[in-house]
Structure 1
Amino acid sequence: MEAPGSTRVPLVETADELTALVLAVPGVDSLHAGRFGEVATYLPGRRVTGVKIGEDRVEIHVVLRFEAAITAVAQEIHAVVAAVVDVPVRVFVEDVTAPHAP
């Protein structure tokens, strides 16, 4: 049940908004679809990979840049997502990019 006067953002905007917020965090390379491509929010005609929105939680699965401080970036992702959803947030670092050759 929603509080009086509150409005829920439609799922399409929420999944896309979460994707944009996560990709804007320094150190994030990309979103990750999971081992078997199972991490996604399914929308009419498309899917948003790496973001799984459920009634009881939101999962964010990411690939970080090699030079990123993993714990700090994961905490930042958690903070930006938790600020815009009203369910628990779980962040999964699925992979790290390879270092770039000099």
Structure 2
Amino acid sequence: MGDATPPTREPDQADLVAAAVTAVPGVVGLHAGMFGEVATYLPGHRVAGIRTGPDDVTEVHVTLRYGSPVRDTAALVREAAAAVTGGVVDVTVEDVVAETTAP
């Protein structure tokens, strides 16, 4: 009988960007855009809120916690993502949520 655990996979760059960005203070999570159109599609899963383009620009869409300085937090998000990608990162703050509605 074979082992029932699925094989582990190496994280994709989009997974690494997502982890780095969501670790930034003030970031509640990634945001897939108004119609869920911002995502990276990988075999077996989707990384919402991260999109890479053919021009080596990475788009990161986030939701911030109310009270977090938007420009400063966006700059930290850009730095965190650029540390992973080594390229240009565009950050869009899609939403701001109150402490009581944040996960």
Q: In 1, distance between residues paired with 2:49 and 2:61?
A: 5
Whether 2:68 is the aligned partner of 1:68: answer: yes
State the shift of 1:43 in Å.
Answer: 0.6
Contact kept, 8 Å, 1:12 with 1:43, in 2: the verdict is no
Name structure 2 gaps, 5 residues minimum: 1-9
Name structure 1 gaps, 5 residues minimum: 1-10
Task: Give SS of 1:73's match.
Answer: helix
Runs of 4+ that moved beyond 3 A: none
Partner of 1:42: 41
Partner of 2:5: none
How many residues in Structure 1 have an aligned counterpart in Structure 2? 91
TM-score, normalization by structure 2: 0.81
TM-score, normalization by structure 1: 0.81
Q: How does 1:1-102 map to 2 (within 5 A)?
A: 12-56=11-55, 57-100=57-100
State the shift of 1:82 in Å.
Answer: 1.4
Q: After superposition, what is the alpha-carbon deviation per residue over 1:32-81, rounded to whole angstroms, capped at 9, x for unaligned?
A: 00010000000112210000012311000000000211110000011111
Q: In 2, distance between residues paired with 1:99 and 1:21?
A: 21
State the shift of 1:12 in Å.
Answer: 4.5
Contact kept, 8 Å, 1:27 with 1:68, in 2: the verdict is yes
State the shift of 1:100 in Å.
Answer: 3.4
Contact kept, 8 Å, 2:17 with 2:85, in 1: the verdict is no
- The percent identity for this pair of structures is 48
CA-atom RMSD, angstroms? 1.8
Task: Give SS of 2:40's match.
Answer: strand
